[in-house]
Structure 1
């Protein structure tokens, strides 16, 4: 058996999906970003039942009611992990159970984008399930053990997010509420509103993009919705750009943002070539004085 090497040419021709979390305070218009996405290629995973802002949106929706249902959906989207045991989530056996429940996975081929609204509600759903498992109760007394529940909750959330990373050709957008608080030094701190600390800490390292949607003043001082995309920003918003193609702020249009990140390699190379700084010219050599 030959070593399955993927050449640079093959890798560059692969269609890579963007995994991103879109954060913003309540009411800023995060869910309304669905209007900027192609309805025929987007599946709305509605966990909040808060779709009033997109009531007329013409795309498809799925509403997993429990955490096990969401895990089955994750396996159905991203496929099986052959390294996992038969009883583990996202194993081949778990994937087969998802196919038996949801049907032929080829039915997902029409979707290029999965819009999960919201990761805040998803974490609550996961914790409700985790707090009812055996690990959430003391073996000695049988009383609820909060540490065990939160430990299980953290592992479950991270496993689901990591597995969705393997849906390589698909965009996955997680919407989340941005929480503002003041620390002991009276400084404003912004962080995702997610049940438990582990998911919020590890989430930026899992996804490709962390985008904060906020109302920022333009050159005339008028407030307008913008995406903050880079870690170093003057507002202290959580942000990260693994692609290296986004400016510090971008227009609040998720469809255009995904197209900018996913632009073809030839276009990126052309853009880089035209934006490279000119090389400094060397001083011309003086003619030799010998034989003058």
Structure 2
């Protein structure tokens, strides 16, 4: 046994009391601040559930065809979505997709500005890098403790925990993509008298877009990876089916719900990757000319 050098109980009590103080004094304000996230999630979920299944199949298969201009990926998307419908997992899949989309949209709006800020300031990068390391390595269950204490079980803590877990890759890849733009291109844009804002939106972001889209891909995959854990606090969806399979020892329920999560991951991973490769090819042609 490691010798007890100090008594850590006062420190633990201080941390618990600080969080309890936040819940007592700021719980209502924090719930009000997070209410737009709940509205976004509910709106996306209602839209997906109300949309006819065949229209969702057409939209996703069409996106796959636009991304590749080949029949193979649309066929994979079609068969995967048919699997969800045949196995009676469609509504749960739409609930899971809504959580993933809401978390990804929120992460995009929060992460890209931070990534731009990091790319422009070494000091900001030095501050945010350890924080991003902590967000990526801290066990996801740890996020659930304070969020459940503040908001109670439900969709808001599940969405917030998913956003915190999924956002770091997009921040990092936005920063990396913007800093990787060819200095000669940036110098040429300065020679034409462009402002920093014009260089950012007219040069850096378009050239860094494939890398940023790779960050969106990683954020989407990490959001899907959180669905089982998020279902423990009321997110529902396919993750809840997995938990029910564990609780009832129903192998088939857990297996098919797990395969449903894999299906969604394959669909969104392949589509976003294909769009990224398409952008890289276009930028390469532009540079070659």
Q: Same fold by TM-score, threshold 0.5 exceeded? A: no
Please identify which structure carries the higher helix content: 2
TM-score, length of structure 1 as denominator length: 0.25
Structure with higher Rg: it is 1
- TM-score for both structures, normalised by structure 2: 0.25
